[in-house]
Each structure stands twice: as C-alpha cells, then as structure tokens.
Structure 1
C-alpha cells in the first residue's frame, strides 16, 4: 500500500514579505554612506514634496476622521525636514567613532529588518520618520500601521517606491503589512523581524515587548504644564493654545492638564480666553465627561476632533443644555477647559484626552504645582515630559531632578517642541521614550542610533590601574579602614 506524502505547509504571506525584506537588506548592507544617505533623501522627498504631502494629509484626515489637514501638512514637512537636518552628515556606515586614548573604534552595523508599528493619529509623519531612520542604518523596514491609517501608509510607501526607482534602490527595502490589519498578522511580523519600534497604544507597546523580538516602545502621553507666578501669562497662553490646538491635539505631547499657581490664575485664564479657550460650567463638565468616557473608556468620537465639533456632539447628548452647547459651538471655541481638583480614576479629566480639552488645576505655589503634576503622572503619563512657563531657570532643574519625566520643556509650545524643533536641541522624532517611569527601555527621542548595532574594536593601551588610596583613601579617612 502506497502512502502519500503530505505536502509541507506553504510559507505564510508574512514570512514571504520578511524574506523579501531580508534579501533587499542584504543588498543595502553593502552600501556606502553616500548610498545610504541618497536613500534617506529619496524617502524624505517622497513625503515632503508639496503635492504629495497635501495628498497624504488629506487622505489621513479623510480615513481616520482625526486631526486637521493643514496641521498635518505642516507636521509632515517639519518633522521630516527636521529629521533630514539631524541626519545630514551623521555617520551611520563603517567607522563612526574613534577614541585613541581608550583604544576604542566604533563601527556601525545594521540591525536587519525593522517592524515599525505606527498609530492612526500620525499615519504619514510617523511611518516616514521610522522609515528614514531605518534606511540611515541600511536596514529594511516593514510598516504595520493601525487599520485606519493603512491607506495613508500605503500611499506613502508607493511614493517612496517611486523615488527608489529613480535611484535604483530595491523596493522591498520598505514594505507594508498587507491589509486588513489584525493582531495576528502584526504579531507574526513582530516575531519574524529583528527589531520592533512601536508607537501608539499601550496595548501595541506591550505586544511589542512580549513578541520575543528586541523592541523600543513608548510610554503613555498625558503631558502637564506648569504656569508659575513669574510667568509672562500672555506668552504662556500663546504657546499653550498653539500647542493644544495643533492637529486637534492628536499628539501625545499636547498638554492635557495645566497647573496654574494661584497668584496668576485669573490673568492666565483671561489670557487663554482671549485666545479662544472656554471654561465650562460644572454642568457642562458633567455632560462632557459622559460624552468622552462612556463606560469609562475614552471615546473615539472625540479623539482628534475640534472643540467646536465636540461641543456640537455634547449638545446632542444633553437636551437640557442643548441650546447653550450650540451657542458655545457657534462661537468657534478653540479649547474647552474644565476645572479639576484631583487626579486618578475618579477624575477622568486628569488623564490623556487626545482632543482640545484641557483640565485646569490650581496650586498655592510652585512646590504645590510640582506635587500636583506628580499626582497626575502617578495616574498616567509618567516618564514623558512636563512643560514649564517661568522666569526662574532654576525651577526647570528642580523639575528635572524630582519629577518622573524624561524632558522638561521650558517656555515652548509643548507639542511642537518635545519631538524636536528648529529652535531647540532635541532630536526630531515622533516617538518619545519615557524611561523606566513609563515602562520603556530608553528615555531619549527615538533616533537613527537606535536602529544601529555598534561593534567596538578594542586595542591595548597603557595600563591605567589606580592605587588603592585613590579609590579608598577618602572613604577610609572619613569612616576608617574596618
């Protein structure tokens, strides 16, 4: 009796996709610095070219229903152009550092195939940022976007492929996880790649950490800002409104809470009101809470929406106050403010809102303001960053020494400054590490060096062994040699 041999199972589409990425990466692993930089520039031009940029921004808003087209155009341009500035002249191929005194030579090597998890809030800028950083290190990259952001990522990668054709680079260096996107396919991709860089929900970040593949993930947003008694309230209000309204507050770096020292509370609120921020009544706050957290979870109905749209939706929810909400909406509010006196699960406005809704906390003095921010971050947002508007430089150092934050953003529009800006020294990035406070393995702005393996050549140097007295002398003098 003959026995048929069962055919071996065919490789999955994800396995084949990664295999193509590995084949392409073996080609670019031989590139010179100039070749890598040409690929970086090509990918940057794919999104920065004005007509393509606008098409991506319009597609992002149409498909996700979040954000503002013009702000996404600006974000796509500034974040990409800023990244290209950071990478211009940076060494990422071959020998990138030498320290003769220590006998050390550093050599940059690719990590391989990168899995880039990207969010719906930035479906163009974030994939572009990760693709460009990966290419700088001569890596291949496979983008795993959110379901809502898939079409924007697909269009972006189509633009990149067209630029690759111009320079003779293999298209398979940059690929997209096929739709429809689901957890199973994303999980398989993460397991098969060499590095995962995850931006988006904490569920995505935890999945990346649990994938068995080395991963960089980011912590939760929920930025708080402090306005102390020395601040220029008009300048502070201008920065805060600019930050909070940008792209309808879809950024994890947008202020969610503002802690104002009592001495400047009235003038600060007046300055915010002059710029379109409206303080809600207690009754309106209750309605807004019901709209934003039905069942205790932040509703997609408000994420990335304008303040006017949120007010209109609140009107539909509240018959008793419908006319008041519609009248408010008709004024074109830019920010909806609510007074808050606590933090934690019983105070949902103390958490991240991803919308132009701002919680206002009071504090007797700067120390109390810092303590309030610490309470907010104990609930959500530890590790990310804090904003400070103050005329006293030492207060920024105090926050940096005491609060669980990786960044202290001083006198700047927070959501624009945190991920790098042309008027500060932070690296341009859309992925901010939050350190161990945010359960991350890094506390830097994710940048091209995170996409590199570094090989170190060590040569012998003259022995540099200290004496016992150099190490223990002061200790023994003060405490004895027991």
Structure 2
C-alpha cells in the first residue's frame, strides 16, 4: 500500500500550475485571457450553479443565508467583470514618447490564494478571475469549512474551460483535507500570495518569504450626525448589517449617534427592525460565553440569533438585529470589536467632534485602516473624518456592506478584500483588484536631456531660507 505524502501532492499541483501558466503566457493574447476570465465568471454566475454554491456554502459553513449569498455571488462577480472588461493586461499597456518608456504587461506566475469560510465561493471566484485576466495560474487554499464550496466552484470552472478548450491546470486548489502545513507550503512555493481571512493567516502570508498582498480586519464604525436623514440612515444600516447575516468584514459593528438626534434615531432604528437591548452585561456574556464568539450567534438568521442570546419574548416581533447601548472601548469591552453577527454596539456622543473621538478610539482598538461610515448632509464632515481617523475609506450616506467592496452606485473597485494600509499592517490601502495580479517590464529609451538648473528647483527656497 502506497501512502500519499500531502506536501508532495501539493508540490505536484503547484508544478502543474506553473507549467500551465508558462504555456498560457507563451501562447497568450488579450482575447484568451478575457475568455478564460469570462468562463470562470459564468461558472459562478449561471443561476443554477450559483444557487448550488450558495446552498452548499450555508450547509457546510453554517454561516450566512442562501438568498444573500446568491446575490453576493452574482453582483460581486458582475461588478468585477465590468471593472476588468476593457482593462489591457496583455502586450503593450503604456507607450510614452515623452519619457521614452514602453511598458509591457507581464503575469506574476502562480498565485496562491488563501480564502475564508465567510465567502467560500465569491472570494475564490474573484481571485481566480483576476488571476486569469492577468495571465496567471492560481491555486486556492480554502478554510476547512470552505473546502466543499471551493471544490464545487473549481469543478464548474473546469466544465466551462472544457467548452473553450482552456487548460484546467490553470485553476486548482490545495487537496482536501486542508492543513496549515499545506497552506504554508503553498505560500512558500507560489509566486504571489493573496490572503483574505484571519489575522493569523495574514501574518503567515506576510512572513512566508513570498511577495504577498494581505488585507486587514474590519470593525466598521458609522457616525450618524444631527443633519442626517434618519429614516434613510436607519434603513441603510439595517440592510447592510443584516446582509448575509453580517458575515462581511464591511458590516457595521458600531454606530455612534450625536445626542441631538439620538432618541429620534433609536425610533427610526425600531421602525427598520433594530431593537435596542439595554442589558449590556447579559448580551456580552451570551456572545462570549467562554471568551470566544458564540457559534450559535455568529452569522445566523435573526430568529436563531435572538434565541441564542436568550431574547425570545424580550424583543418585538420582526426584529432583524439588536443594538446594545455601551460606552466602553477596548479589550475589556468586547462589544467595541467585531461581532460577526446581527449585533450592533450603540454609542451616544455629545456632538460630532465627540463622535469622531469615539470612532477613532474604536478603530485604534480594532479595525484600523479598513473603513468607517458617515450619515450626514455635510460633505465637509467626510473631509474631517478623512484626516482624523486611521482609515482607508469613508463611506458616505450608503449601506456600508454594499458600498465598501464596490457598488454600481460608487466608483470603488468590486472586491471582497479590503487593504487597510499601514494602519492595518497591509502593503495596500486599496480594494484588492486586477492590478494587484499584474506586473510589467519597461523598455527604456534615451530621450533629450531634461536636467534643470539649480534655480529651477531651489529659487523659492533660497528666497525664504537663504542660499
């Protein structure tokens, strides 16, 4: 009897991916890259397969809900395809006679993609499409709960590849069962790591010795000020907070409301399905019964969440999420952190300036660099937040979950992975998108000299400081 060596098996997969990528690039064209990306996109967007993936994801991970995962799989992929439709990723991508530089698109090679269980189809599909669009092969490492969904997705992609004669070795996954050892080996042997998921995985990715793009933790805080349309804000927060049962890193975790409209906003929340539960100690104990988030609450439908928190009969019928008034921030106040559930921390601030202070403290505790939100009629306050808070994104008057990762009503790239800049320990502060899967070779030609005189550079300085 021959016993398989898991690491050797993974090495075989990476070798096959590397050989396939070499052929793909050597015989590449923009048409071929685009067609492969289309095939991968249709593999997840075709309605019957989309539903099958959504149902399997909820069944095997226990996270989220089927209708919202169907929506996510469809809209995230459609938006991505819109973003990359006219992007040039093969051949000459820039030819500038003024500088004498011609830039040639080049693939990165084999991408190793580490993906989470919260979006076990949408995130791998996003990475796969971007990789193929840019001439790469990709090997996906799903979380243990996401293995079944990833296997199904790749099976669908290979079926589409068969229709167009594309090489299935371009898209593979770490063989089940997954393990830290296999994922580590992938990160060490691929050419580029793309990592979305736990901060433990992010740390491992960024220390694996391979160029890596990793993203940070979310803990979205949203300010509602005295100029906000309260009914609209409450409805947008409800829609965002409840979407896919708060599995998204962009789901609101805290709302900071200025005192002048606090009571009116609480009433608007109630109209939109948000119930205020004032027993902070009881909710905290039920959410973290053993110091870890309660799995019976994480990413569950409202009725299951309410039951698991012991709130049956204590909140109105039709409650979709709960808001817990609190003032504490930091490690001793877990409500101030990410909750991955239909539970919102509710803060009261004396005025907008105080709301900014609270929001900054929450972000410094957890979620720095990711995103914050603002519901306000004053655009200048968005500018104030942009310089006062350690964050990469200020989402203004929008449902945060739908806006942060790209929307058909804003200009952000469609993505499921948010870079958090140095605030979040990341190399990027953008939404992960196709440019992070592409590199280039520059041809540099000689041009007429453009050497300035010293006065051209220093005249104003000399005038102020002296020569």
TM-score by length of 2: 0.97
Q: Secondary structure at the match of 2:312?
A: helix
Alignment partner of 1:416 out of 402, 413, 418: 402
From 15, 20, 34, the equivalent of 1:24 is: 20
The answer to whether the Cα contact below 8 Å between 1:134 and 1:448 also exists between their aligned partners in 2 is yes
Contact 2:126–2:415 under 8 Å retained in 1: yes
The structural deviation recorded for 1:466 is 1.9
Deviation at 1:26, TM superposition (A): 1.1
- Distance between the aligned counterparts of 1:288 and 1:70, measured in 2? 28
The answer to whether the Cα contact below 8 Å between 1:110 and 1:138 also exists between their aligned partners in 2 is yes
> Does the residue aligned with 1:114 lie in a helix, a strand or coil?
strand
Mapping for residues 162-311 of structure 1, pairs under 5 Å: 162-282=159-279, 285-311=280-306
**For residues 60-459 of structure 1, what are the structure 2 equivalents within 5 Å?**
60-282=57-279, 285-315=280-310, 325-328=311-314, 331-459=317-445
| Regions of 4+ moved over 4 Å | none
Structure 1: distance between partners of 2:244 and 2:7: 41
Q: What secondary structure does 1:12 align onto?
A: helix
**d(CA) in 2 for partners of 1:249 and 1:475?**
54
Match of 1:343, SS?
Answer: coil
- The answer as to whether partners of 1:312 and 1:329 remain within 8 angstroms in 2 is no
Aligned with 1:24: secondary structure? Answer: helix
**3-state SS of the aligned residue for 1:326?**
coil
Contact 2:275–2:316 under 8 Å retained in 1: no
Aligned-pair distance for 1:10? 11
Aligned to 1:14: 10
How far off its partner does 1:455 sit? 1.3
Q: Deviations over 1:111-152 (max 9, x none)?
A: 000111110000010000000000011100011001001100
Whether the aligned pair in 2 keeps the contact of 1:311 and 1:328 (CA below 8 Å) is: no
Secondary structure of the 2:290 match is helix
CA shift in 2, pair 1:346/1:11, >3 Å = closer
Give distance in 2, aligned partners of 1:466 and 1:239: 54
- In structure 2, distance between residues paired with 1:371 and 1:462: 53
Displacement of 1:11 in angstroms is 7.3
Change (3 A) 1:263 1:329: closer
Partner Cα distance (1:137, 1:75) in 2: 23
Cα drift, residue 292 of structure 1? 1.6
**1:330 Cα shift?**
7.3
CA distance in structure 2 between the partners assigned to 1:99 and 1:365 by the alignment: 51
Aligned residues: 462
Q: Cα deviation per residue 1:65-109 (whole Å; 9 max; x = unaligned)? A: 110100000000000000000010110011111222222221110
Cα offset for 1:463?
Answer: 1.6
Q: Secondary structure at the match of 1:405?
A: coil
Q: CA deviation at 1:480?
A: 1.7
RMSD: 1.3
* Kept in 2: contact 1:308–1:329 (CA 8 A): no
Q: CA-to-partner distance for each residue in 1:145-199, whole Å, 9 max, x for gaps?
A: 0100110010000000000000111101000111111111111111110111000
Structure 2: segments with no counterpart, 5+ residues = none
Residues 343-377 of structure 1: CA distance to partner in whole angstroms, max 9, x if unpaired?
10111100001111000111111111111111001
SS of 2:309's equivalent in the other structure is helix
